[in-house]
Structure 1
Amino acid sequence: MSENKLRFGIIGVGNMGSGHVKTLLAGQVEGAELTAVCDGFEPKREWAKKEWPGLPVFEDSASMIDSGLVDAVVVATPHYDHPTEAIQAFAKGMHVLIEKPAGVYVKQVRKMNEAAAASGKTFGIMYNQRMNPLYQKLRELVVSGELGEIRRTNWIITNWYRSQAYYDSGSWRATWAGEGGGVLINQCPHNLDLWQWAVGGLMPVRVRAFCQFGKHRSIEVENDVTAYVEYDNGATGVFITSTADAPGTNRFEVTGDRGKIVIEDGKMTFWRLRESEQEFNARNKASFASPECWKIDIPSSGKSPEHRGILQNFTNAVLKGEKLVAPGEEGIYGLTISNAMHLSTWLDDWVDLPFNEDLHEAELNKRIAASSFKKPETEQTAAPADLTGTH
């Protein structure tokens, strides 16, 4: 690695991996260059060789790393393989940027985090929605105390519509053995991450969730979820998601002691109280009075750089010591919430955080054993799908 160039290798050239290849080959990330890719399936390797003539294509990540052509890897494999590939890359001295989710279950992700810490290498996760100015502003307002103490968080995120044709497009999709879950593990990792990150890292202390499996779709995993959470400061939260609502909704509402912030339709509105609700309540003597409130439309501070922004930040972190927007170790937080939602549904009971990781793994393994997915010997492929706008 030179002082001004970071050589990337992409592990997996499916939909997400090929997108990162295009970004890097187009020179959109200053200080980064793509020097190799790898994929375990021969049809994908042949497609990659034709699509990107002259770019070295390897059969597996170990041979790509051992070639000496790369300094950092982007892990864009199926979910179960994220920790495995990352741990191997750290052991070989690589900087690692993983796609979301961090993994399928917390126990394996914890091992990955330990490997990252022991390696001393830069570790990031592709939480590209942390680059969105709206969520960055929300975090700023919460952390600065502008919203006061958090009292309630509600997120209705049902605009993840997926048809049966989508689920039928791959044998691994929406199966316990192939994907490890449904909407919580595939579509919602960004939202589950932002749910805690954007409010200053506030994590639930217990969860009661109701996951519905294969609702309106012929699949074996969850595609409709309603969950209620409690925080240690007495605040509560609700998270609702679905892949079968049409049209869907994306509304994130955070209520604090000094007002309420709503993010919806790409806009942020802050209903700001002139004084805290607690202070008003202590002095007020009128039966039906309420605190004075100002409606403020928070102006947009620009377009989100999305995946390119994370790649740039990661590159800058390695070359210049810039602080990571999305440290890889933080991938465990959103996954902890989704694991707790699964476990709560499977046990039909409340789940306290931290939860019993061995119990969760055992329950997941029961479903993997009964899963319809069987890993194919080979995988046919066409050009990757256009994921523009899908996060």
Structure 2
Amino acid sequence: MGTLKVGVVGCGSIANHRHLPEYQNNPDAEIIAVCDKVEDRAKATAERFGAGKYYTDYHELLQNEEIDIVSVCTPNYLHAPVSIAALQAGKHVLCEKPMATSEKEANEMIAAAEKSGKKLMIGHNQRFVPSHQKAKELIASGELGRIYSFRTTFGHGGPEGWSADGKNSWFFKKEEAFIGALGDLGVHKADLIRYILGEEVKEVAALVEGNAKENSTVDDNAVALLRTESGIIGTLTASWAYVSSEDNSTIIYGEKGIIRLEEDPVFSMVIQYKDGSTVNYQLGQIQTNESQSNSGVIDHFVESVKEDKTPLITGDEGWKSLQVIIAALEANETKKNVQL
């Protein structure tokens, strides 16, 4: 298989800061088309990244037979429709998170991938962070003994400073976003905990609020309590109200020690052992909106397609992580724990 021809649907910040630069830097990929409903944005993005064609209707982009793979970088409510259409058109699909707005949509995406024989990957980039990969390895090896608890959080000042449309962004509109900070940030941490611990979440309780942002119809602060299949319990926090600096840290509490991830400004992983000793790891800092680097997502997706390998985050994996977040919404609404 030669160079993969790429089409990107949605020309907002995630496309311009992550997907397109990473495709551009991958020698096995060539960006040939982009699409955005705002024509000026589509045209400017095409010029910036050397795409030969730009569209304002994604159906037209999908009719381009040259395209091998499609990145879906749209508002959340379009993730499923665009992904399904792309798969049906014979394209491999990399879809941003959260993958869908419901179980029905997620299942339809998974079914479309199976029927087409094409790959579907969800862009959960936290699995590619070196400290997270190292923590998973150490926990699996028994380095920390039995795991008892965890605390994982993702919070910053909100998407208005990141989104192409600022305070008028689709992120704040329930009809387009479906979900706020929980879907923007929390689903990353749900996926991370599943990945690091190697276990599924089986029970969820949650408190969810939407009081930090004006003119918003979605959540912006949430705390969920999770229990895994082996009985590990912990908290997951997602917030758009951390106004000083981003917090993207995770702490794992084990029988033989504590792993602190992305908490220290210098050391991306710190292990505090039961005997009082500490080991510091400099593995490279986690990517933030202010500090861009190669996320690893696009390179992994391109490699998966070229070598015909199953991607790390399949549609099934994406749904299992989204299911935790949907359960948190249900738990908050019903004031009852939700069993998965």
1:386 aligns to what?
none
Q: Matched residues in 1 for 2:297 and 2:154: separation?
A: 23
1:153 aligns with 2:140: no
Q: Residues 181-224 of structure 1, C-alpha deviation per residue, up to 9 Å, x if partnerless?
A: 11011233322211221221x22211110001224644222111
2:268 aligns to what?
267
2:279 corresponds, among 296, 301, 304, to 296
2:188 aligns to what?
190
Q: Residues 18-50 of structure 1, C-alpha deviation per residue, up to 9 Å, x if partnerless?
A: 33234434xx11211111112233343344455
Q: Matched residues in 2 for 1:269 and 1:101: separation?
A: 30
Change (3 A) 1:51 1:149: same
Offset at residue 153 of structure 1 (A):
1.3
1:138 corresponds, among 135, 140, 149, to 135
1:334 aligns to what?
321
Q: Matched residues in 2 for 1:191 and 1:110: separation?
A: 21
1:34 aligns with 2:31: yes
Q: Matched residues in 2 for 1:98 and 1:230: separation?
A: 28
1:96 aligns with 2:78: no
Q: Matched residues in 2 for 1:104 and 1:230: separation?
A: 23
Which residue identity lines up with residue 273 of structure 2 in the other structure?
A: R
1:81 aligns to what?
78
1:162 aligns to what?
158
Confirm or deny: 8 A CA contact 1:30 1:312 kept in the other structure. Answer: no
Which residue identity lines up with residue 99 of structure 1 in the other structure?
A: E
Confirm or deny: 8 A CA contact 2:252 2:260 kept in the other structure. Answer: yes
1:318 aligns with 2:315: no
Q: Residues 206-255 of structure 1, C-alpha deviation per residue, up to 9 Å, x if partnerless?
A: 11100012246442221111221222322211122322233354431111
Pick which of 245-254 and 56-65 moved more.
Answer: 245-254
Change (3 A) 1:31 1:255: same
Confirm or deny: 8 A CA contact 2:270 2:279 kept in the other structure. Answer: yes
1:21 aligns to what?
20
Pick which of 8-17 and 44-53 moved more.
Answer: 44-53
Q: Residues 138-162 of structure 1, C-alpha deviation per residue, up to 9 Å, x if partnerless?
A: 111122222223211112333x112
Counterpart secondary structure, 2:306: helix
1:352 aligns with 2:335: no
Counterpart secondary structure, 1:178: helix
Offset at residue 316 of structure 1 (A):
1.2
1:120 aligns with 2:124: no
| RCO comparison, higher one (Cα < 8 Å, 6+) | 1
Residue ranges of structure 1 left out of the alignment (5+ in a row)? 274-291, 354-391
Counterpart secondary structure, 2:234: strand
Pick which of 316-325 and 67-76 moved more.
Answer: 316-325
TM-score by length of 1: 0.76
Q: Matched residues in 1 for 2:51 and 2:217: separation?
A: 42
Q: Matched residues in 2 for 1:331 and 1:244: separation?
A: 26
Q: Residues 24-78 of structure 1, C-alpha deviation per residue, up to 9 Å, x if partnerless?
A: 34xx112111111122333433444554566211232322222212011111111
Offset at residue 122 of structure 1 (A):
1.9
Question: How many residue pairs get matched?
Answer: 329
1:203 corresponds, among 200, 206, 216, to 200
Residue ranges of structure 2 left out of the alignment (5+ in a row)? none
Change (3 A) 1:208 1:4: same
Percentage identity across aligned positions?
26
Change (3 A) 1:107 1:148: farther
Q: Matched residues in 1 for 2:22 and 2:220: separation?
A: 31
TM-score by length of 2: 0.87
Confirm or deny: 8 A CA contact 1:164 1:217 kept in the other structure. Answer: no
Q: Matched residues in 2 for 1:87 and 1:315: separation?
A: 19
2:126 corresponds, among 120, 126, 129, to 129
Structure with bigger helix share is: 2
Which residue identity lines up with residue 39 of structure 1 in the other structure?
A: D
Which residue identity lines up with residue 104 of structure 2 in the other structure?
A: K
Q: Matched residues in 2 for 1:48 and 1:255: separation?
A: 45
Which residue identity lines up with residue 188 of structure 1 in the other structure?
A: G
1:377 aligns to what?
none
- Structure with larger Rg: 1
1:5 aligns to what?
3
